[in-house]
Amino acid sequence: MSTSSSIPTLGHYPLLDRVSVPADMKNLSIEQLTTLAEELRSETINAVSTTGGHLGASLGVVELTVALHAVFNTPDDRVIWDVGHQAYPHKILTGRREQIRTLRQPGGLSGFTRRSESPYDPFGAAHSSTSISAGLGMAVAHHLYAEDHPSYRERNVISVIGDGSISAGMAYEAMNNAGAMGGKGAERLIVILNDNEMSIAPPVGAMSNYLSRLMTSRRFLTLRDMAGKLAKRLPSRIERTAKRAEEYARGMITGGTLFEELGFYYIGPVDGHDMNQLVPILRNLRDAEDKGPVLLHVITEKGRGYKPAESAGDKYHAVARFDVETGKQQKAPAGPPTYTDVFSRELLHRANQDDKVVAITAAMPSGTGLDRMAQQHPDRYFDVGIAEQHAVTFAAGIASEGMRPFCAIYSTFLQRAYDQVMHDVALQNLPVRFAVDRAGLVGADGATHAGSFDLNYLCCLPNMTVMAPSDELELLHMTATAWAHDSGPIALRYPRGAGLGLSLPEEGEILEIGKGRIVRASEGEGVAILALGPRLHEALKAAETLEKHGIAVTVADARFAKPVDEALIEQLARQHKVFITIEDGAPGGFSTQVVQHLANTGLLDQVRFRPMALPDTWIDHNTPAAQYEEAGLTAHHIADLALKALDGKAEA
């Protein structure tokens, strides 16, 4: 039992205080587990009120979390949470209660599951829909170990996947593979579908709960196995008929026919907040032998047990710090519109003028700013769910018929659809407009959500045009440019957060493709800085510092990562001793386009070229400012690099 003073609620929750690790729950009764769940919910609310984070999903799985850890032998039995933002209660129960108020804070706990953080986190999950594939892989590995070592106990592997996450094709690919695997290891795989939207399930009632318990009991599974063996002795036509009869009989009652067709034994729906149902069913599944892959369908309520969350439209999916009593969140002072807001405004303006404009998102309508499009032009707005691959090819199909699709997807999630971007869009030169939100470093979500790689994976594709605005005014222009660009695919990538507060015209200007601009000119032969994206303003600060050292500095805004402005690059290289590029992406993105041209023209031999990009490391969650300081992409880093390149002795 912990006595740490770092737990401000110590002494408030008698049962929770007794639980340091899941093994401490093994002798608790169902009534005690129910009480423990109530205490765990209160502790989760209290903790997230001080840190902010993904509250609603975590509140919905409190009882399920308690039941899983009470029944299964974790961490030997593996529990994978998909997506990891529903794992806050799991972290509290697995030895991290003392650190839970460091959640998403610098140096603190990750907002997602993380292998390096705890042995109770067997798989890092921050992008959705990976848990069944990973769980199946773990189950197969344990099976292979057991075949080689008879004394080895095969582990249960439980993949908890949300109803949103199961919309992705990868989840069905994994289930299809598991269902067809036979005796190669899928027997110990349990998939728990956490359904908190009632999008699949019929109402949960006493009869459904009773049937679910019955169908997981040893007696029923043994009887079913006997019937299966008997059926195999019948002529094949009769065997198939008997199997169909059983599947459809249960399917009519439980709604499980789809999952049965994929080879899973379906159970549910079950009330995910009723410990009297969860614990016996999980025990039955734990103790069953050779049951084959199972899908347990539980119904939960997002935001459960906290009135402000229950009454909120998004069930408090993601919250800032808040007052526990009132639920009132601490809002940041009003400031300039966000980049997302500016993109949304210009897109809506163009959609009002042009009925060929179509907007597509993958389960992020408000995050990408397309909720306004949904309200005003619902017939031209499509949320395809967590299915980025489909979103991109869907957009390609729309573009192939002469429409103007905008596919708005976070940089980190567009990675999931890279083959579709290459094969279905770029190779066919289809004019899909990619609005790549959350480019660069993103703060508290950390490395899993950083938009570090889009410049690399987009700039290498033939036919692709890539833009990066330095501020919100430039984003307005680039959104207009994307709208007008019908000759091939085009991407505009922009950061999370607010702009600079610049005055915006009623509509954006259409930019000349592949042309940058000089924003600070000098007449000396000192340093040229060519910036792509918002780091331009750090470059301007660096120029002021260097000027104090008597060094002439020219600063240019590249605007386009591809095609680059060759004339501008040649001008900067010929007129300056040092040529620096800076970008908020991984090495090998924009700078590669520049150095390739310098090498081809021979100018690389004449100028001291220094590229600046994100380091080749994962940058952990922190404030964006601290992340860019760690990355070495701030004004004093730029100035220091310039001085060293000029053989200057002083540091900026």
So what's the pLDDT on residue 59? 93
Cα atoms in the Cβ-side hemisphere of radius 13 Å centred on 538:
23
302 catalytic per annotation? yes
For residue 327, tell me if it sits in a domain.
no
pLDDT surpassing 90 at residue 603: yes
Q: Supply the range of the domain harboring residue 556.
A: 517-647
**Mean pLDDT for the stretch of residues 372-391:** 95
> Is residue 258 scored above 90 in pLDDT?
no
Q: Are residues 477 and 557 in the same domain?
A: no
Q: For the chain, how many structural domains are there in total?
A: 3
The predicted model gives 4-21 an average pLDDT of: 89
**Is the pLDDT reported for residue 348 higher than 50?**
yes
Phi then psi dihedrals of residue 283, to 5 deg: -65, -40
Decide which of 460, 495, 530 is a domain's last residue. 495
> Which of these three, 461, 495, 529, is where a domain ends?
495
Residues 556 and 429 in one domain: no
So what's the pLDDT on residue 624? 93
Residue appearing with tokens 């990408």: 368
167 and 65 co-located in one domain: yes
Identified catalytic residue from 41, 97, 101, 302: 302
Q: Which of 140-149, 387-396, 473-482, 557-566 has the lowest mean pLDDT?
A: 140-149
DSSP-derived secondary structure for 318-353 = SB-SB-TTT--B-PPPP-SPBHHHHHHHHHHHHHHH
The whole-number pLDDT of residue 227 equals 60
Mean of all residue pLDDT scores within the chain: 89
Query: Which residue ranges are tagged as binding site for thiamine diphosphate?
Result: 85, 126-128, 164-165, 196, 306, 388
pLDDT at 650: 41
Residue of higher predicted confidence among 57 and 466: 466
pLDDT per position as a tens digit, 549-586: 999 999 999 999 999 999 999 999 999 999 999 999 99
| Residue 239 located in a structural domain | no
Mean pLDDT value of segment 443-460: 95
C-alpha span between 626 and 66 (Å, rounded): 36
Kindly state whether residues 386 and 269 are assigned to the same domain: no
Q: At what angle do helices 206-216 and 218-232 cross, to 10 degrees?
A: 70
The pLDDT of 340-357, averaged and rounded, is: 98
Is 291 found in the same domain as 169? yes
Q: Which residue out of 43, 260, 388, 583 is catalytically annotated?
A: 388
Coil, helix or strand at residue 375: helix
- Between CA 199 and CA 318 the distance in angstroms is 21
The pLDDT of residue 609 is above 60 = yes
User: What are the backbone angles phi and psi of residue 89, rounded to the nearest 5°?
Assistant: -60, -40
Which of 436, 461, 495 is where one domain is finished? Answer: 495
**DSSP code of 96?**
I
User: Is 343 in the same domain as 195?
Assistant: no
333 located within any domain? no
Write out pLDDT tens, residues 405-419: 999 999 999 999 999
Query: Among 290-299, 307-316, 424-433, which stretch is predicted with the lowest mean pLDDT?
Result: 307-316
Q: pLDDT tens for residues 138-188?
A: 999 999 988 888 888 889 999 999 878 888 889 999 999 999 988 888 999
Residues 416, 554, single domain; the answer is: no
Q: Residue 540 falls within a domain, yes or no?
A: yes
Q: List the catalytic residue out of 345, 416, 433, 438.
A: 416
Given a cut of 90, is residue 254 above it in pLDDT? Answer: no
Please give the annotated binding residues, written as ranges: 85, 126-128, 163-165, 196, 306, 388
Q: What percent of the chain has pLDDT over 90?
A: 73
Catalytic annotation on 416?
A: yes
- Binding-site residues for Mg(2+), in ranges, read 163, 196
User: What number is the average pLDDT over the span 306-318?
Assistant: 78
Same domain, 191 and 66: yes
Average pLDDT (320-326) is: 85
C-beta separation of 416 from 388 below 8 A: yes
pLDDT at residue 162, rounded to an integer = 86
Asked whether residue 475 falls in the same domain as residue 583, the answer is no
Helix (H, G, I), strand (E, B) or coil at 635: helix
* Statement: residue 207 has pLDDT above 60: no
| Mean predicted confidence (pLDDT) in 208-225 | 61
Using the structure block, give the residue that is written with the tokens 């922190």: 622
pLDDT band at 628 (very low <50, low <70, confident <90, very high): very high
pLDDT at 322: 86
E strands present in 244-397: 265-271, 294-299, 357-361, 381-383
pLDDT at 86 over 50: yes
Residue 203 has pLDDT above 50, yes or no: no
Tell me: do 531 and 616 sit in the same domain.
yes
* Residue owning tokens 């009534």: 31
Q: Whole-angstrom distance between the N-terminal and C-terminal Cα of the chain?
A: 51
For residue 232, tell me if it sits in a domain.
no
> Which residues, in sequence order, are CB contacts of 29 under 8 Å at separation 6+?
none
Domain identity same for 527 and 490: no
At 219 the pLDDT is 61
pLDDT of residue 198: 38
Residue 469 lies in a domain: yes
Mean pLDDT for the stretch of residues 46-58 = 90
In a domain, 97, yes or no: yes
Q: Which of 189-203, 442-456, 523-537 has the lowest mean pLDDT?
A: 189-203
pLDDT tens, 298-309? 999 888 988 888
| 75 located within any domain | yes
Q: Do residue 402 and residue 482 come from a single domain? A: yes
In the prediction, which pLDDT does 178 show? 94
In the predicted model, is pLDDT for residue 226 greater than 80?
no
Q: Which CATH number fits the domain that encloses residue 70? A: 3.40.50.970
Alpha-carbon distance 83 to 294, whole Å?
Answer: 19
Stretch 250-257: mean pLDDT, rounded? 56
